[in-house]
Amino acid sequence: MTIAHQAVGGVSQTTGVLAGRLDLRLYPATASPWWAALTVEPWLPLGASGVGEAPPGSIAVTEAHAGFRFPTADVYVGRFQLPVETGRLTVPFTLAFYDAAGRRRGVDGVRADVYLSSGRLQVAAVQAGQQWTPLIGWRQQLVGWEATGYLLWQEDGPAAGVGASGLVGSTVVYGEAWSLPGEQGLRGSVGATGYLGDSLWTVELARASFPAAQTSGPQAPAVPLAAAQLAHAFPSGWTVVADAAAVLRDETPAAGPALGKQDRPHHLRVSVTYELLPGQAEVELSVRRQVRPPQPDVLGAAVGLRWFF
């Protein structure tokens, strides 16, 4: 249950939302060669005050597939997750977009993960719009590192991407690069994450779409970005997370005159979470600000109660 207040260009609205996530897994027997998975995420506004009406509610099936296990391969048929990205804070390229309610729906199709002595081969055919997209991927484990590579055929041509992550001392460093049809230059990101005392920090530089959590459809133009996140969990049950992202330079044709530092697209968000019952219930308070000229600035605050069954 969440109550959110948002002010867009001086127009305010407060909305109550009842949202949830139900994960069902069916394993007929311990050594069964098949299984089934279903994930349903309802998002139901309870009402709104202020200007405008409450957005319509919906129930999304974000995952629904059957899986089959063979001696050296796993096969998925239906709607499943197919992550191809390496970055944590930015998304140069993805096959699974977020909707307006923040839900990330899987892709529809068939996928096979083949486990070989030298690595994992991934072959898939997924539906993107009205077209089927073939994909082949490779994941290689190295000493302290992991590398991936993908090749897929989209409606307007082939796309290819590579990624890697590994340990440098006590810090995890990672990066990815994508070549997409119809775009000049590469999309990509480089980043690092590690601990500073009891705090977990992450920093990232990228050429990607802004904001990262865009809805489905054509990829938004890529721009140079910087993003950072700092999270700290206190022994008393409190957790504080602060994250920010900003466009360093707008390369889109419609960008117009150079913007000042205060006018550049950026977002800031701070959340404070308290664990009411360990592993069962928590309450979260968050505030955010998003600037995307020429659109109106967005200021928001929300308080939510989450219960885990």
pLDDT single digits (tens) 29-76: 777 899 999 999 999 988 766 555 666 889 999 999 999 999 999 999
How far is it, in rounded angstroms, from Cα 217 to Cα 263?
26
- Across 83-209, where does the E strand assignment appear? 107-116, 119-128, 131-142, 145-154, 157-168, 171-179, 187-196, 199-208
Average pLDDT over residues 127-148: 91
139-193 pLDDT, tens digit per residue, is 999 888 999 999 999 888 999 999 999 999 999 999 999 999 989 899 999 999 9
Query: Domains of the chain, with CATH numbers?
Result: 2-307 (2.40.160.10)
- Per-residue model confidence (pLDDT) at position 164: 97
Instruction: Determine contact, residues 42/57, Cβ cutoff 8 Å.
Output: yes
Q: Which two tokens stand for residue 212?
A: 């990262």
Q: What is the DSSP-derived secondary structure letter of residue 55? A: P
Query: What is the per-residue burial (b if ≥16 Cβ within 10 Å, else e) of 51-62?
Result: eeebeeeeebeb
Neighbours of 257 (CB within 10 A): 5
Least trusted range by pLDDT, from 89-93, 184-188, 213-217: 213-217
Structure tokens at 68: 């089959």
